[in-house]
Amino acid sequence: MYKNPDHFDQQINYNIVLADGVSKKSSATLEDSPRMLYFLEGLFTQNRKQEAISYLKWKATHLETPHPLKSISLQRSTLETPPPGILRTAHEYALQKEYVLDFISSNSALQQDYKISGAPRE
């Protein structure tokens, strides 16, 4: 991490969309420990899509929501850091990559199939 510091800052967020259409965004920085942040960062930097989807499935089973989940995604946004002595021009974080797990509910209330979508947006 510090042998070759990234020339950008990042944010990793969870985006949860419920079946009633309500969406909620939360920051992994506030929710997760440094070790978990390291794990989440690795999912993006090492392009570990299958692991990311597995993690989102696990995360979905550990969320308490008033309504069933429609989708859950893990987003990484970045903001370039200018070199020393140069003023920053951009101030908004730009979405760099996203892993999305959609839930498709069948007729049976007990059964939920997963549709894995979200080819990472670069």
Partner 1 sequence: MRMSYGAYLIFYFWNLQPVMEMLLGTSGLVALGDPFPQQPSPVPTIFTVLSDRSDTVVWFVTLSGMFSGAILASGLFNRIASLVAWICVSSVVTTIPSNSGDFLVQCYAILMVFAGLAGHLGKPVWQCSNREHSAWSLRLFQIQIVFVYFFSGWHKLASAAWHNGSAFHYVVSQEFWSRFDITWLASYPFLTSAITTFVLFFELLLFPVLIWVPATRRLMLGCGLLFHLMIFATLKVFVFHQIVLLFYLAFLTPEDISWCKNHLESLMKKRIPTLLNDLLPCHK
Of 70 and 93, the one with the shorter C-beta distance to partner 1 is: 93
Of residues 51 and 102, the one with the C-beta less far from partner 1: 51
State the minimum distance, in angstroms, from the CB of residue 18 to partner 1. 22
Q: Is 26 helix (H, G, I), strand (E, B) or coil?
A: strand
Question: Which of 26, 54 has the CB closer to partner 1?
Answer: 54
CB of 16 to partner 1, least distance (A): 18
Q: What is the distance between the alpha carbons of residues 71 and 17, in angstroms, rounded to a whole number?
A: 5
Q: Which of 80, 66, 65 is nearest to 14 (CA)?
A: 65
Nearer to partner 1 by C-beta: 18 or 37? 37
Least separation in angstroms between CB 22 and partner 1: 26
Total H helices, total E strands in the chain: 3, 5
The first and second tokens of residue 28, run together, are 């992994």
> From CA 29, how far away is CA 63, in angstroms rounded?
17
Cβ atoms 115, 53 nearer than 8 A:
no
As measured in angstroms, the least distance from the Cβ of 73 to partner 1 is 17
Residues in contact with partner 1 by CB under 8 A are 1-7, 9-12, 29, 33-39, 42, 48, 50-51, 53-55, 57-58, 61, 81, 83-85
